[in-house]
Amino acid sequence: MSGRLELWLFVLQRMSAMVLAPLVLVHLGTMIYAVQGGLSAAEMLSRTQSQVIWPVMYGIFIVAVAIHGAIGLRAIIREMTPLLDTTASAIAVLFCLLVLILGFNAVEAIA
C-alpha cells in the first residue's frame, strides 16, 4: 500500500482542490460583499444563522481545506527541509486535526 500512498495523496489533493475552488469563489465574493460598511459579528451571524446552507458549506470547506493543506504542507516539508518523511507526515496529520477541531468549533459558533 505504501507504494500507492503518493498516488492516493495526489488524488485526495486534487479532489479536495476541486471541492475548494467553488467554495473559495463563494467565500471571496462573500467577503468582498460583507466588508462593505465594516465588519460586525451581528451582521455575520445574521447571515450565517439565517440559512443552513452556510454552516453546511463551511463544514465541507473545513474538511476539504484540512486535507488539502495537510498534504500540501507535507510536500513542502519533504522537499525543502531535511526532516524525515515520517516527521513530515506526522506534522501533516497534526495540522489536519488542528484545522478540523478549530474549524468545527468555528462552524458551531456561527451556526
Which residue's CB is nearer to another protein, number 53 or number 80? Answer: 80
Query: What would the x/- binding string for another protein be over residues 77 to 96, using CB under 8 A?
Result: -xxx--------------x-
Distance CA 96, CA 62 (A): 10
Query: What would the x/- binding string for another protein be over residues 13 to 52, using CB under 8 A?
Result: -x--xx-xx--xx--x--xxx-xx-xxxxx-xx-------
Residue 6's H or E segment, with its range, is helix 2-34
Grid cell 496529520 is found at: 93
Cell of residue 60, nine digits: 465541507
Which residue's CB is nearer to another protein, number 3 or number 53? Answer: 3
Which residue's CB is nearer to another protein, number 79 or number 86? Answer: 79
Distance CA 101, CA 95 (A): 10
Which residue's CB is nearer to another protein, number 33 or number 53? Answer: 33
Query: Residue 74 class from Cβ within 10 Å (0-12 exposed, 13-18 middle, 19+ buried)?
Result: buried
Distance CA 18, CA 5 (A): 20
For another protein, the binding residues (CB under 8 A) are: 2-11, 14, 17-18, 20-21, 24-25, 28, 31-33, 35-36, 38-42, 44-45, 62, 65, 69, 72-73, 75-76, 78-80, 95, 98-99, 102-103, 105-106, 108-110
